């Protein structure tokens, strides 16, 4: 939490100079601001309503502030740790908590393909890796031959990878040129 806040103050992101950024958190901006604004309002209302009980008042104030700061830190970490193309590898991330490195050597097709309703942020089912954002994916990679990739500390064989990108068309262009061996377009 403190790291995300410190990085936000310094404008830092976990992106190298030669990395191609494929952001995924832009659609959460409105939600972050709305929940943060409501959180501030809630903290104020609870603080006023608990004026008769000083211990409860201060405990609830502390819990509310820590919860709000933690929520903001989570939202900031999504922007600080985007998906990146790095050295013929696609690094798919969900904030600081989850990352999957996918070598692009066996990528045969890249396309825009929207799928919603994923129940997990990162999941593998029958050779399909999903890295969803808010339950959705919009880019699909087909691997031929299937690749062995480490997901959650275990190696799985993948034939398809689906993930969410803010700009799926740009992601498809960058991945297509990187998979073809040409430098990825920025």
**Residue 185: its pLDDT value, please?**
40
Section 126-137 average pLDDT: 92
The pLDDT, as a whole number, for residue 180 is: 62
Element (H, E) at 57: helix 54-80
Mean predicted lDDT score pLDDT of the chain: 89
Nearest to 22 by CA among 147, 141, 181, 123: 141
Given a cut of 90, whether residue 5 has pLDDT beyond it is: no
Between CA 143 and CA 149 the distance in angstroms is: 12
Confidence of residue 165 (pLDDT cuts 50, 70, 90): very high
Q: Are strands 128-131 and 122-125 parallel, antiparallel or unpaired?
A: antiparallel
pLDDT in tens, 99-127: 899 999 889 999 998 888 888 888 899 99
pLDDT above 80 for 186: no
Helix (H, G, I), strand (E, B) or coil at 162: strand
Q: Among residues 143, 117, 114, 116, which one has the least CA distance to residue 128?
A: 143
pLDDT band at 95 (very low <50, low <70, confident <90, very high): confident
pTM for this entry: 0.81
| Residue 177 reports pLDDT greater than 60 | yes
pLDDT value at residue 7: 80
Q: In this predicted structure, what is the pLDDT of residue 12?
A: 85
pLDDT tops 60 at residue 183: no
Percent over 90 (pLDDT), the chain = 57
Q: Are 72 and 40 in contact (CB under 8 A)?
A: no
> How far is the CA of 33 from the CAs of 3, 30, 37, 84, in angstroms?
20, 5, 6, 25
Give tens-digit pLDDT for 19-67: 899 999 888 889 899 999 999 999 999 999 999 999 999 999 999 999 9
With beta carbons less than 8 A apart as the criterion, state whether 72 and 32 touch. Answer: yes
């Amino acid at each position: 939490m403190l790291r995300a806040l410190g990085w936000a103050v310094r404008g830092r992101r976990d992106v190298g100079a030669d990395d191609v950024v494929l952001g995924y958190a832009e659609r959460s901006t409105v939600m972050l601001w709305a929940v943060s604004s409501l959180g501030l309002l809630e903290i104020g209302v609870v603080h006023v309503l608990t004026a008769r009980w000083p211990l409860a008042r201060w405990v609830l104030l502390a819990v509310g502030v820590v919860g709000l700061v933690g929520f903001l830190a989570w939202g900031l970490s999504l922007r600080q740790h985007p998906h990146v193309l790095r050295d013929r590898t696609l690094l798919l991330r969900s904030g600081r908590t989850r990352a999957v490195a996918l070598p692009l050597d066996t990528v045969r097709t890249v396309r825009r393909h929207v799928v919603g309703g994923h129940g997990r942020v990162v999941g593998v089912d029958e050779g399909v890796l999903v890295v969803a954002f808010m339950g959705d994916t919009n880019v699909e990679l087909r691997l031929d031959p299937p690749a062995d990739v480490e997901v959650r500390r275990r190696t799985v064989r993948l034939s398809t990878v689906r993930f969410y990108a803010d700009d799926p068309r740009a992601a498809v262009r960058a991945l297509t040129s990187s998979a073809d061996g040409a430098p990825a377009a920025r």
